[in-house]
Structure formats: C-alpha cells, structure tokens
Amino acid sequence: MTEMVYGSNPIRVTEPVLPRWWRTIDKWTLTSVFVLFGIGLLLGLAASVPLATRNGLEPFYYVQRQAFFGGVALVVMIAISMMSPAMVRRIGVLGFAVSMVALMLLPLFGTDFGKGAVRWFSLGFASVQPSEFLKPGFVIVVAWLIASAQDLAGPPGKTISFALTLVVVAFLAMQPDFGQSALIIFAWGVIYFVGGAPMTLIVVVGGIVGLTGLVFYESSEHFARRIDGFLSPDVDPRTQLGYAANAIQEGGFFGVGVGEGQVKWSLPDAHTDFIIAVAAEEYGLILVLIILALYGVIVVRSLSRLLHERDPFARLAGAGLACIFGVQAMINMGVAVRLLPAKGMTLPFVSYGGSSVIAAGITMGMLLALTRARPRGQMSDVFRRGR
C-alpha cells in the first residue's frame, strides 16, 4: 500500500484483495494443505468402502461426504486467511465462547454413538464434535491473554489463561477425552513458553498432569485399559493396534498395491484414527514419508515466518496453532505405530470426519492469516521506540 499526496489530502492507492492475499500468503503451506486433502480423498476411496458396505450404503458414500466437508473447510480456510490478526482474534474469541458453551451442554444433550465417550451432538444428518472447534479458539484466547499481560497496565493474563486451561481440561475429562485434554495443555504450555514466562509453572503443570494421570489410571477402566495395552510387550493381533501394526509391516517400502490392502476390512476406524495404516499397507513407506514431509513443511514454514513477527499476539497464536496442528498429526501416527497409547485422534485433512476437517480448515486459515507477509520495519526500531 502506498500513499500519494496532492495538496494536504492523502489519497490511498489500495491493491485489490485477491492479488494482495496471493502475494503475502505462504504458498508452501497452502500447497501442502491441498496436497494433504487430496491424499485423504485418495485413501478414503480405499478405507471407507468396507464401512459403507457394512452399513448398506453406496460404496463411495463417505468419500463424497468427505469431499463436501473438505470443500467447505478449504473455502473457510481461504476466507479466514484473508483476515487481519485483529479479525482473527475476534472470530477466535467468539468461536471459543460458542464451543465452550456447547462443551458444557454435552452431558445433557450429547451422545456417545456407542463408543463410551459423550463427545458429539447428533443432528440426524450429521454430528458435531465441539472439542474440535474448541482448540483453535482456545489458542487464540490464551495468546490474547498472555500477549495482553505484556502491556504495562495489562491484565494478569498468564494466571487467567492457566485457570481457563484447568476449566477446559476438566470438561474434556468428563467425556472422557484425554487426547484432546493433552492437546489443550500442550497448546497452553507452548504459548506460555513462547511468551517468555519462567519454567516454574510449566514444571508444576507437568507434575499435576502426571498425578492426574495416575488418579485416572486407578479410577477409570477405559483409561487403564489403554495404558496397559500400550505398556504390554505383546500386541493382540485381533485388536486395532494389532491390525494396524501388521498392515504397516505388510506394506513395506512400496506397498501391496492400490486396493489390495486387507486392513481396511478389519479395522472399524480405518478411515479415521488408523488411516495411516491403510496408507502404509497399500502405498508403502514412500507415501507415509510424503505425508510426514507435508506436515513438517507446514509446521516449520509457519514457525520460521513467525520468527520475524513483531506483534506479540500474532507470534504467540501462530506458534500455538502450528504446534497443535503438528502434534495432533504426530499423535495420530504415533498411535498407529504403537509409539503412543491409543487416543482416538484424527489425522488433520486426511482422516474422515466433518468436524475434524472443518476445524482443521479454521486452524489453518488462522495460521495462514497470522503468517502472511506484512509491512514491518527492523526489530531495532521497536527497541528505539521503547527507549
């Protein structure tokens, strides 16, 4: 944007929205997201057919739904990526408030779909999982609070954000949803750390998390069963982890061939939580490495661009969004190869799920908006003004 001055009245010559968006957006991250979504549709063509057959539906019923929800997610992502950091903050706070109310209403109006955890609202034609939409909004609110605490007359944002984290985790644990609880705690820890806060509270939180995990292990059969299964040296080949491990071994480097995999007929969650096992079996290690590289590009590119960001809120929120996006992918793939206990967490933009893919679109839209190139001076200018 430039200014041309005639007399005493400045006339602003503005660049059109779309060209300015294309010039300032991180094209590597944007391309990686589209490629991940394309891979998800490709894997869905194989992974979701058995489920559709068992439910008496058209073979590509779930692929068509994923294409629809994914299309909505990509449109939402692009729309949000055109916003300013201030607008991202506004919609993030609003989204968090709505998601938090929905989370509180789950015990009264939610359903578990026979999975033992009340995490969804059933709308008949679709279902909504509030915790998926809560995560990006939570990151924005915490980043706003901690950034505000850096002002001279700012609120005690770090204390408020810690209390808010405890409230959110408590409601998630009631479902129970320990995977999303861990992500929420991790997101707060990242933002708190990047905000330059001392490590004392993070160590205390780590201790609290450990003690809480011990309490749930002793009191929750569901939680204890998953931990025991992870710690056991033997894997029951008839469990989901057993099927997934066997599929990854069978796939080898090049895979058994498109459509030739068998794990999709045995795993009830092959199209969601264990989609990477389908990729490894049919396409081999090559596709898995490509998927890993794409997530790596998104996270590394975003964090590297945020290193030059002077706005505290944009820097904190961007770091939190990038890290929870990457860690969610790491948890999903870590569970499939038995590096982590089973969490019931989707692979962003690849796994089937309307709430999951739309929430991922919101997350990436916010991240793209916060990492767009904006006019800025040298960092030394900030210090001179501070003096």
Does 317 score more than 50 pLDDT?
yes
Judging by DSSP bridges, how do beta strands 127-128 and 121-122 pair with one another? antiparallel
Does 376 score more than 70 pLDDT?
no
Does 343 score more than 80 pLDDT?
no
Residue 351 belongs to some domain of the structure: yes
Under a CB-based contact definition with an 8 Å cutoff, are residues 190 and 326 in contact? no
Terminal alpha carbon distance of the chain: 29
Residue 385 belongs to some domain of the structure: no
- Give burial (CB, 10 Å; 0-12/13-18/19+) of 338: middle
- How far, in Å, CA of 115 to CA of 175, rounded? 11
Dump pLDDT digits (tens) for 89-114: 999 999 999 999 999 999 888 888 76
Does 384 score more than 70 pLDDT?
no
- How far, in Å, CA of 132 to CA of 129, rounded? 6
pLDDT score for 175:
82
Residue 384 belongs to some domain of the structure: no
Query: Is the model more confident about 208 or about 350?
Result: 350
Dump pLDDT digits (tens) for 155-173: 888 889 989 999 999 999 8
Query: How many angstroms separate the Cα of 146 from the Cα of each of 51, 151, 194?
Result: 45, 10, 10
pLDDT score for 222:
62
Residue 380 belongs to some domain of the structure: no
Residue 158 belongs to some domain of the structure: yes
Q: Looking at the 3D structure of the chain, how many domains does it have?
A: 1
Residue 143 φ then ψ, to 5°: -60, -40
Does 385 score more than 60 pLDDT?
no
Average pLDDT over residues 320-348: 88
pLDDT score for 144:
95
Does 380 score more than 70 pLDDT?
no
Dump pLDDT digits (tens) for 36-93: 999 999 998 888 888 888 888 888 888 999 999 999 999 999 999 999 999 999 999 9
Residue 241 belongs to some domain of the structure: yes
Query: How many angstroms separate the Cα of 220 from the Cα of each of 62, 108, 173, 305?
Result: 33, 21, 11, 43
pLDDT score for 383:
41
Does 298 score more than 90 pLDDT?
yes
pLDDT score for 387:
47
Does 10 score more than 60 pLDDT?
no
Range of the domain at 138: 2-373
Does 299 score more than 90 pLDDT?
yes
Query: How many angstroms separate the Cα of 176 from the Cα of each of 94, 119, 170, 213, 351?
Result: 25, 8, 9, 12, 21
Most confident of 156-160, 167-171, 245-249, 359-363: 359-363
Instruction: Tell me, rounded to whole angstroms, the distance of Cα 126 from its chain centroid.
Output: 21
Residues in the chain: 387
pLDDT score for 3:
43
Identity (one letter) of the amino acid at 326?
G
User: What's the mean per-residue pLDDT of the chain?
Assistant: 84
Phi/psi-derived region of residue 215, left when phi > 0, alpha when psi is between -120 and 50, beta in every other case: alpha
Average pLDDT over residues 243-250: 82
Instruction: Quote the tokens at residue 203.
Output: 């160590």
- Give burial (CB, 10 Å; 0-12/13-18/19+) of 209: middle
Residue 255 belongs to some domain of the structure: yes
Residue 379 belongs to some domain of the structure: no
pLDDT score for 300:
96
